[in-house]
Each structure stands twice: as structure tokens, then as C-alpha cells.
Amino acid sequence: MARIIGGIATTHVPSIGKAIADGKQNDPYWKPFFSGFDYVHRWLAREKPDVAVVFYNDHGLNFFLDKLPTFAVGAAAEYRNEDEGWGIPVSRAVAGDPALSWHLINTLVEDEFDITMCQEMLVDHAVTIPLALMWPGQNWPVKIVPVAINTVQHPLPSMARCFNLGRSIARGLESYRPDLKVLVIGTGGLSHQLDGERAGFINKDFDRLCMDKLAADPEDLTQFSIPELVELSGAQGVEFLNWMAMRGALSGKVTEAHRNYHVPISNTAAATMVFDNEPSVRRKAA
Ligand code: DHB
Ligand code: FE
């Protein structure tokens, strides 16, 4: 049976891709951020996930404002990246797991999530940067199921809705027969605003509250409405919705294993967290 081994949340600022391409990981500006991944690398080397469900937001590479699904799930054998104009190298394609994708799509629709299913899907920096951070060298040993959440064009789904989306994904994983170790990933955030009068806005207190609540009491965070989330975390800080979905997908006993918080990377409060997920009901060995 598929087993959810844990969750990783990380920012996805595109300039990280340029820093990697230029080998700047040890520069004074970048080191406090990249060194936060030493633990992640050890954790991944030990846990060896087979697949990753990636909750992220597309920034206009695959979906544009003319047609923007609230939730979209990839069901492709591979996902290509393309040049988004950030001046970072185009990544290699990421392998998909169509059988798992269709299983999760079935569960989501059963659970009344009216998702868009994508047999072709480009993935942008919100997928490729986190993978490059987790597995340097582009030797990505996992297949992915990308789940895109609209954090771009209002109205956005609520914090509770995204948390429950993760819950439904967990239910789907728990009924998937192949013996897979599954990692769930949430990308983006934390607080940032890229444009308008509040460009450069960062809110360390709110970021800390979100990180503190995430392990122990994530449902408490559903008290924040989308307008409140914009106010407290910035227009693009709403990418935290991807973190809520990731946390919803951790269905067992969850503990925070690691956290790194560094301000700023580009315009963003850059955070990385790792959660262990111990299944609540241990299944008997076959
Ligand atoms: C930045 C942050 C993002 O989340 C993004 O998608 C693009 C740019 C930034 O801080 O530069
Ligand atoms: Fe973003």
C-alpha cells in the first residue's frame, strides 16, 4: 500500500535557479538559505520517497488568466518545463505516474472536488525550483503528481478548502495498492508581495505563526479568510495555500523535523520545513 512518509514545504523564488546555475550556493547572500537544505538532503537520502505529490501554483506558463482552474491535477507520463523569461536554464522534464494520478483524480471527484484533469501539463518554477533544491544535480529520483492550486486570480479557494483537498489526496493515497513511499510537497510563500504599493512587504510575525501552527494545529489557520491572508502575508504570500494542502495530506501523527527561515531571498521570506508523518494505524505486515 502507498504510505505517506512526510511533507516538505519550501519557497520557489525563481532567482534560486539562477544562483544554482551560477554555483552561488556558498555566497554570503545565498548560504543561509541553501544551508537550510543540508537536513532536507539527509532526510531524503534516508527516507527515499518513490513519488511526490506536488501542491503548487502555476504562474502563467501552463494556465493563463483567460482559463484558470481552481484545482488542476496532472495525469501525464512526463511534465516539461519551458522558458518563463526569468533568465534561468530550462529544467529537464519531470517523470509522471499516470496510474497514481488517475487514482487520485477518482478520489478527488468522489469527494466532490471538481478538478481539471490534465493529460498534458507544463510545470513552471514552482515545481522545478523545489525539486532542484531537494535533489541537486537534476537527478530527480521521484515521479510526480502535480496539483496546481489557483493562488493568482481571485476568487481563490479558502484555507479550509485547500486543507481538505490535501485530506482527500491522503484518502486516495491510503487506498492505492502499489507499495510506494509518498512525499507530499507544498511550494511558494511565505510572506511576499511583488507589485503595487506594498511591493516588498514581509511579515515575520505572521510567517512564524503559520509555521508554528502547521505541525500542531493546522486547522486553526483556517480562521484566516483570503482577504485577511492577503493583508497579513502579501498578495503573493497567499501561496501558503499550497502549504495548507500539503499539510492536509499528512494524515498520521505529524511532527516538525526541520525548519529554516531566512529573509529575504529576492522579495520573499524564504522558508523550508520538513514534517515526519507516522501513519496512525500501523498496517500489519503482509
Ligand atoms: C518571487 C517570488 C515568487 O513566489 C515568484 O513566483 C516569483 C518571484 C520573488 O521573490 O522574486
Ligand atoms: Fe510564486
Q: Which atom of ligand 1 is nearest to the CA of 192?
A: 10
Atom 10 in ligand 1: which residue has the minimum CA distance?
Answer: 267
Q: Is 193 in the pocket of ligand 1 (CB under 6 A)?
A: no
**CA distances for 37 relative to 100, 253, 274, angstroms:** 28, 23, 10
φ/ψ (deg, to 5) at 218: -65, -30
Average pLDDT for 134-143: 94
Pocket test for ligand 1, best of 10, 11, 13, 57 (most atoms within 8 A of CB): 13
Find the mean pLDDT for residues 85-99.
Answer: 96
- Which region among 165-174, 234-243, 265-274, 275-284 has the lowest average model confidence (pLDDT)? 275-284
Task: Please name which of 251, 252, 226 lies closest in space to residue 240, comparing C-alpha atoms.
Answer: 226
> Is 125 annotated as catalytic?
yes
C-beta 268 within 6 A of ligand 1: yes
Output the CA 232–ligand 1 centroid distance in Å.
17
Question: Computed from CA positions of residues 233, 209, 43, 279, in that sequence, does the dihedral angle turn out positive or negative?
Answer: negative
CA 123 to chain centre: 12
Mean pLDDT of 190-206: 97
Residue ID of nearest Cα to ligand 1 atom 6: 13
In the reported structure, the alpha carbon of residue 12 is separated from the centroid of ligand 1 by a whole-number distance in angstroms of 7
C-alpha cell at 277: 508523518
Residue 148 dihedral angles phi and psi, to the nearest 5°: -90, 130
Instruction: State pTM to two decimals.
Output: 0.97
Residue 192 is a catalytic residue? yes
Q: What is the CA radius of gyration of the chain?
A: 17
Q: What does the pLDDT average to over 230-237?
A: 98
Kindly give the distance from the C-alpha atom of residue 286 to the centroid of ligand 2, in angstroms, as a whole number: 43
The pLDDT of residue 276 is 98
Question: pLDDT at position 282, please?
Answer: 54
Ligand 1 within 6 A of 266 CB?
A: yes
pLDDT interval class at 286 (50, 70, 90) = very low
Closest ligand to C-alpha of residue 200 is: 1
What are the residues whose beta carbons fall under 8 Å from the beta carbon of 239, sequence distance 6 or more? 12, 57, 126, 151, 187, 188, 189
- By the 10 Å C-beta count (0-12 exposed, 13-18 middle, 19+ buried), 195 is classed as exposed
Report which protein residue has its CA nearest ligand 1's atom 1: 13
Residues 18-46 pLDDT 10s = 999 999 999 999 999 999 999 999 999 99
Judge if the beta carbon of residue 130 lies within 6 A of ligand 1.
Answer: no
pLDDT band at 285 (very low <50, low <70, confident <90, very high): very low
Residue 211 Cα to ligand 2 middle (Å): 18
Question: Is the pLDDT assigned to residue 174 strictly greater than 80?
Answer: yes
Q: What is the mean pLDDT of residues 52-81?
A: 98
Centre of ligand 2 to C-alpha 279, Å, is 31
- Residue 105, exposed/middle/buried by CB under 10 A (0-12, 13-18, 19+)? buried
**Inter-residue contact 13 to 86 (CB < 8 Å):** no
The rounded percent of the chain whose pLDDT value lies above 70 is: 98
Ligand 1 center–CA 125 separation, angstroms = 9
Residue-level pLDDT at 281: 62
Closest residue by CA, ligand 1 atom 7: 13
Q: State the chain's mean pLDDT as an integer.
A: 96
Output the pLDDT for position 280: 77
What residue owns the CA closest to ligand 1's atom 5? 13
CB 237 within 8 A of CB 13: no
- Please work out, in degrees rounded to the nearest 5, the angle formed at the alpha carbon of residue 75 by the alpha carbons of 96 and 57: 85
**Tens-digit pLDDT profile for residues 107-138:** 999 999 999 999 999 999 999 999 999 999 88
Extract the C-alpha cell encoding 174.
491510503
185 close to 7: Cβ distance less than 8 angstroms? yes
- List the catalytic residue out of 12, 59, 103, 125: 125
Chain position carrying cell 511533507: 7
